[in-house]
Structure 1
Amino acid sequence: MAKRVSGQQQALARSRLQDDLIVTGEAVALEARPASVGVRTLGAALDAAAIVAAVILVLLASSPLLENLNQAQMGVVQVLTIVTIMVGSPVVVETLTRGLSLGKLACGVRVVRDDGGPIRFRHALVRALVGVGEIWLSFGFLAFVSGVLSRRSRRLGDILAGTYAVRVRGAERSLPPLVSPPDLAEWARTADIRSLPDGLGLAGRQFLARASAMDPQARERMGRELAAQIEPRVSPAPPWGTHPERFLAAVLVERRDREYAARLRAQERADADAAEIAKLPFGVGR
C-alpha cells in the first residue's frame, strides 16, 4: 500500500488539488474554473474597444478647450489623457467592482487573487501597469502568449499581481459519480472508517474526478500521497497490493453511503417522533 509521507508533502498534495477551489467566508469550498484564453481574449478586446472609444470621446469633447494650446502642450495633454484612461480607468473599475470590467462582465469572467479572494487596489494597479506593455504596446501578443503557456491562462500582469481570471457564468461542472471497485466492496462494508480531517475527503474526491486528465507521474504521486493520509484512518488495511486510486474510491464511496444511510435513519426517527407527538393526548384538534 502507499507509504507514509511527511506533513510538508501532505500539505503540498492538498494544495495542488485545491488550486481551483475558492473558500468562502463560511468555509465552503467552491470549484473555480479558470477562464480560457479565448474567453479572456474576447473580454480584453471588448475592454480595449471601450477604452479607445472613451479616449476618442474625451479628446473630441475637450478639443474646444485645447484650441489655445501650442503643439507641445497639446501633445502632453493627449498623452496624459491616454495614460489616465488606459491605466487609471481599469484600476478604478476593477478596484470598485472587485475584479470586473465591461468586457469581463459580458464574458462572465472575474479576476480574483490566487487564494480566491477579491482583488484590491494594488492588484488592479499592477495588472494595469503591466497591461500597458503586454496588451497595448504589443497589441495583446504578449498577453496571449503568456495565457497560452501559463497555468490558469494567466497573463504577465496576473503573474506579477498574484491573480487569475475565473468563470462566473457557465462554470458549474457536475463531478462524475464515484463507484466502488467491486472486489473491494465487501472489505469496505466491514472496515472501520474514522472521520477524515477537513478538506481531506474533498481533496480525494477532486483528485479522482481529475485523475484521467493529469500527468501520469503526478497522478501516481498524488494518489499515493492521498492514500497514505487516509490509510491510517481505516482498519483493517485494504488487501495487499491494492492500487491507491481504487483504495480511495472504495473508502470515499463507503463513507458517502454510510453518511447517507445515517441521514435516512435520522429522518425516519424524526418522522416517528412527530407521529407519536401527533397522537392523543398530545395531538391538537382531536
Structure 2
Amino acid sequence: MSELVTGEAVALELRPAKLPSRALAVLIDMVVAWSVYLAVTLGLLAAAGSLDDAAVAAIAVGTFVLVLVGVPIAVETLSHGRSLGKLACGLRVVRDDGGPIRFRHALVRGAVGVVEILLMFGVVACIASLVSARGRRLGDVFAGTLVVRERVPTGRMEYVPAPPPWLVGRFAELDLSAVPDGLWLAIRQYLTRMGQLDPQVGWAMAERLAADLVARTGAPAPEGVPPAAFLAAVVHERQAREVRRAFGGPGRPGVQGEPFTPPGITPAAPATYASSTPPAPSQSPGPSPGPGAPAPAAPAPPAPPAPASSRSASAAPSASEEPPRPATGFVPPA
C-alpha cells in the first residue's frame, strides 16, 4: 500500500502497479500502436507513390509522431489515465495526490516515453521502475504521476459473531453516544478475528477493549460475563439500534433468547465464548453398596385385579340409568 495525501489532507491508500502488469499493459499498447502505424504508413505510401523521397520521409515522420506519440497522449487525456492496455490490466494513471491527470501530465509522460520506451526499447523504463519505491518510470517522475491498480481483489466479508442468547437485549438502556468510531472498528476487528488469536492474547485484548468501552459508556460490565461476550452483546445492541433508526422498527432488538438479525443479512455462525467461571460438575450416581452391605429390598409386586364376579352389583349401572355423557362445557338452558 502507498499512502497519498490529497490537498484536503485526506490520506488515500492506493496500490501501486507492479512491473509485470505495467509491462503487459505497455506491450498491449505498443502492439496496437505499431499495427495502426504500419497500416496508416502503407496506406499513405500507396496513395502518394509519385512523391519524391523527401515527401515520403516527411510523411513517415509525421505518421510516427501522430500515431505513436500523439494518439497515446490524447487517449490518456480523454480517458483520465486509462489506455487500452491499462484498461485490460486494471491499471490507471493518477497524480501524486490521487487526482485524475490532465493534458500536461499526459504530454510529459508521452514525450519522455518516446526516449525511455521507444528509443531504448523499454530498458530505461524497467530499470527506473525497479529502483523506484512506487514503481515509477522517468515519465512518471517528471510528470508527477503514479500508475495504480483499480481492480483490487476483495477478501471475504467477515461477520461479527452473535452474542449469547441470554445477553440479547440486556444493554438496551446503555448510552453509546460517547463511543468513538475508532473503538467500534477495533472491537469489530477483534470479534471477527478472535478465533485466530492466541487464547491469552485474545483474552487480554478483549479485557482492554471492554475497559475502554466501559470508560466511554460509564456503565460497568456485568460480573461473570466474559469480555468477548460483553463486546459482542454491545456491538449487537448498536447494530440493532442502527437498523431500527434506518427502517423504523419498533420494540426491542430481538426476541428474548434469540439473536436479532437485520433484514437482508445472513446470520453468522454462533461463537463460543470462554466462560469466566468453571462449569458445574455433572451429577454422578451414588456409590455402589459394598460386598457386606445388605441388598436393597425388591419392590412388592402389584396386587392382582379383583375378579369380575366379586365386584359389587351397585357398581354396575342400572338399565334405567342413562350412561354418562362426555363433558363438552355446554350447559343446556333451564
* TM-score of Structure 1 vs Structure 2, range by shorter chain: 0.5 to 0.7
In the alignment, which residue of structure 1 is the partner of 2:33? 51
In the alignment, which residue of structure 2 is the partner of 1:167? 149
- Cα 1:40/1:72, change in 2 over 3 Å: same
Is residue 2:204 matched to residue 1:183? yes
Judge which range, 163-172 or 33-42, deviates more. Answer: 163-172
In the alignment, which residue of structure 1 is the partner of 2:96? 114
CA distance in 2, matches of 1:85, 1:159: 24
CA distance in 2, matches of 1:102, 1:255: 49
SS of residue paired to 1:51: helix
What aligned pairs does 1:5-24 form with structure 2 within 5 A after superposition?
Answer: 18-19=3-4
Letter in 1 for 2:109: R
> Is the contact between residue 32 and residue 171 of structure 1 (CA under 8 Å) also seen in structure 2?
no
- Cα 1:75/1:256, change in 2 over 3 Å: farther
CA distance in 2, matches of 1:164, 1:119: 10
CA distance in 2, matches of 1:255, 1:117: 40
Cα deviation digits, residues 126-160 of structure 1 (max 9, x gap): 11000001100110111111111112211111111
In the alignment, which residue of structure 2 is the partner of 1:81? 63
Q: Sequence identity, in percent?
A: 39
In the alignment, which residue of structure 1 is the partner of 2:318? none
The two structures, once aligned, show a CA RMSD in angstroms of 3.8
- Cα 1:49/1:265, change in 2 over 3 Å: same
- Cα 1:79/1:259, change in 2 over 3 Å: farther
CA distance in 2, matches of 1:18, 1:194: 32
SS of residue paired to 1:166: strand
In the alignment, which residue of structure 1 is the partner of 2:331? none
> Is the contact between residue 110 and residue 166 of structure 1 (CA under 8 Å) also seen in structure 2?
yes
In the alignment, which residue of structure 1 is the partner of 2:239? 263
SS of residue paired to 2:148: strand
Deviation of residue 161 (structure 1)? 1.0
- Cα 1:175/1:139, change in 2 over 3 Å: farther
Cα deviation digits, residues 12-40 of structure 1 (max 9, x gap): xxxx9733x899x9x99874322211010
CA distance in 1, matches of 2:108, 2:23: 19
Judge which range, 158-167 or 126-135, deviates more. Answer: 158-167
- Cα 1:273/1:173, change in 2 over 3 Å: closer
Q: Could you state the TM-score of these two structures normalised by the residue count of structure 2?
A: 0.51
Match of 1:36 among 9, 15, 18: 18
- Cα 1:106/1:268, change in 2 over 3 Å: closer
Judge which range, 82-91 or 127-136, deviates more. Answer: 82-91
- Cα 1:193/1:17, change in 2 over 3 Å: farther
CA distance in 2, matches of 1:127, 1:261: 54
Deviation of residue 99 (structure 1)? 0.7
> Is the contact between residue 69 and residue 110 of structure 2 (CA under 8 Å) also seen in structure 1?
yes
CA distance in 1, matches of 2:236, 2:138: 46
Judge which range, 166-175 or 57-66, deviates more. Answer: 166-175
Q: Could you state the TM-score of these two structures normalised by the residue count of structure 1?
A: 0.59
> Is the contact between residue 108 and residue 142 of structure 2 (CA under 8 Å) also seen in structure 1?
yes
CA distance in 1, matches of 2:88, 2:21: 10
CA distance in 1, matches of 2:28, 2:205: 54
CA distance in 2, matches of 1:29, 1:260: 30
What aligned pairs does 1:56-75 form with structure 2 within 5 A after superposition?
Answer: 56-75=38-57
CA distance in 1, matches of 2:113, 2:103: 15
CA distance in 2, matches of 1:174, 1:28: 27
> Is the contact between residue 210 and residue 231 of structure 2 (CA under 8 Å) also seen in structure 1?
no
In the alignment, which residue of structure 1 is the partner of 2:114? 132
What aligned pairs does 1:89-108 form with structure 2 within 5 A after superposition?
Answer: 89-108=71-90
CA distance in 2, matches of 1:74, 1:18: 50
SS of residue paired to 1:152: coil
In the alignment, which residue of structure 2 is the partner of 1:201? none
Is residue 2:124 matched to residue 1:142? yes
Deviation of residue 71 (structure 1)? 1.4
Letter in 2 for 1:97: S
Cα deviation digits, residues 104-143 of structure 1 (max 9, x gap): 1121211111222111111110110000011001101111
SS of residue paired to 2:134: helix
